[in-house]
Amino acid sequence: MSRLWPVCLALAVAACPVGPNFQTPPTAVPEHWRDSTVSTQDSSYANLPWWQVVGDTTLQELIRIALRENRDLRIALARVNESRAQYGIRRLELLPQVNVSGTLARVNVNDSLLGLRTGTYGFFELGASISWEIDLWGRLRRLNESARASLLATEYGRRGAIMTVVAEVARVYLELRDLDQQTILALATVETRRQSLDLARARFEGGLTSELDVRQGESELARSEGRVASIRLQATETEHELNFLLGRMPGTVPRGAALMNQNFRTEIPPGLPSSLLQRRPDVHESEQQLRSANAMIGAAIAARFPTISLTGAGGTRTDAIENLFQAGTGFWHLATNILLPIINAGRSGKQVQLERARTEAAVARYDQVVLNAFREVENGLTALEQLQIQVGAAVRQVAAARRAVAIAADRYQGGVDNYTTLLDAQRVLSDAELGESSLQRQQRVAVVQLYRALGGGWDPVTDSLALPTPAQ
């Protein structure tokens, strides 16, 4: 028997795990982006750290707070730790399992049992046992491979969560600065409406116009005041959303540069399409999930073969505790156990089919993630290009609307045009100014979203910021 152990050990070391070995699915990567005018050099905007993309120091500090306090990041870190523990458990299953046991009992026997006398007596036993499954078919190694891939998947998932938090804090902050700008514009509109109403009242009291002008002016003033309240409500809700991302209770949020002073690049080199798959953590996460599922096929196949394990036990047994370590009380045994599934063979076959189906789904998810990655980048590049055109048009529209208001005011005061013309011109200007502010915000958010889509936002410094601060 003692000669069998080295033989089994050699077989376990030499045996190859059953089941398919993992290979990354082939992916058709475009040679260039849809817009051939963008840079085709392997130098992407995503290579920059996020603090070089976000210039506002206040926003930078808010992002740092979110990386330390955001609850989604804490959940992601906990999942990594959970997967790390599971991987550790799987690794230990490859090693022999050693147990120590002790027994203290009173036994009543009527005939000879284990060589002990009849009657009631004390029974004392102290021993140790060892068991080791010979991983001849690679079942444990496949489970170990699956657990390791799951650990890497959760780590890539955490990195993806870091990128999302950076982008979301920047987006919500820019929305907040947009609403601040809209509040200023809406308050200016209220003041303009009030001045126009005063002018209409003066002309009505002088007998130059009818009461209709006054009532129209009052209606537009009330409408403008209602818009101010609506914008302030949105700003408050946006502050609460930002505080939620920061892991804080609702409250005021510090402001930095005004929206128009938030400088973001409008010319973005996306880099080579082939490098996108190396930068995006969600692609790596999906790949590791596929690797984990593929390894489970091998584990399921190996479960259909005999399980070979070596067991051994030894110790001392006596009916008097003072004789526990006396000569003649010791015992030991070695055994080789073979378990061959027969009745449940059909169940094992179904388990293999189950794991194959899960792997097919994981392949489809991987392809979907890759397709989505290129879709997000292409959408981002298009959005940035078109928003730049829209912002330019909005700037010209505001300038023309302001001139139109000045002309309409002069003509109304001179009695050439009616009051409705002035109100319409003011309404067009107000809408144009609010629209320009919104487009300015959308353009800057598009830069941040494209930066994230290209795989930017994560680096070792950011990773360290997202780890809990050690207790002092």
Q: Could you list the pLDDT tens digit for every one of the 472 residues in the chain?
A: 445 545 555 555 556 788 899 999 888 888 888 876 776 676 788 888 999 999 899 999 999 999 999 999 999 999 999 999 999 999 988 888 888 877 776 666 665 555 555 666 666 777 788 888 888 888 899 999 999 999 999 999 999 999 999 999 999 999 999 999 999 999 999 999 999 999 899 988 888 888 898 999 999 999 999 999 999 999 999 999 999 999 999 999 999 999 999 888 888 888 888 889 989 999 999 999 999 999 999 999 988 888 888 888 877 877 666 666 777 677 777 887 787 777 665 788 888 999 999 999 999 999 999 999 999 999 999 999 999 999 999 999 999 999 999 999 999 888 888 889 999 999 999 999 999 999 999 999 999 999 999 998 888 888 888 887 665 4
Q: Give the pLDDT of residue 355.
A: 93
Which structural domains are found in the chain, ordered by start?
4-94+137-303+347-465 (1.20.1600.10), 96-134+307-340 (2.20.200.10)
Q: What angle is formed at CA 67 by the lines to CA 61 and CA 69, rounded to 5 degrees? A: 100
Q: Give the pLDDT of residue 444.
A: 95
Cβ contacts of 313 within 8 Å, gap of 6 or more: 127, 128, 129, 130, 331, 332, 333
Give dist(CA 94, CA 257) in Å, integer: 58
CB hemisphere CA count around 244 (13 angstroms)? 8
3-state secondary structure of 34: coil
Count other C-beta atoms under 10 Å from residue 346's C-beta: 9
Q: Give the pLDDT of residue 467.
A: 81
CB hemisphere CA count around 145 (13 angstroms)? 21
C-alpha closest to that of 444 among 262, 185, 268, 239: 262
3-state secondary structure of 304: coil
Give dist(CA 351, CA 299) in Å, integer: 10
Structure tokens at 43: 């130098």
Burial 301-336 (b: 16+ CB within 10 A, else e): bbbbeebbbbbbbebbbbbeeeeeeeeebeeeeeee
C-alpha closest to that of 62 among 174, 157, 182: 174
Q: Where are the alpha helices (DSSP H) in 117-272?
A: 139-205, 211-245
Give dist(CA 344, CA 120) in Å, integer: 44
Q: Give the pLDDT of residue 465.
A: 84
Count other C-beta atoms under 10 Å from residue 119's C-beta: 10
Give dist(CA 421, CA 220) in Å, integer: 13
Helix 139-205 × helix 345-413 angle, to 10°:
20
Residue type, 444: R
How far is C-alpha 260 from the geometric centre of its chain's CA atoms?
Answer: 30
Q: Give the pLDDT of residue 116.
A: 52
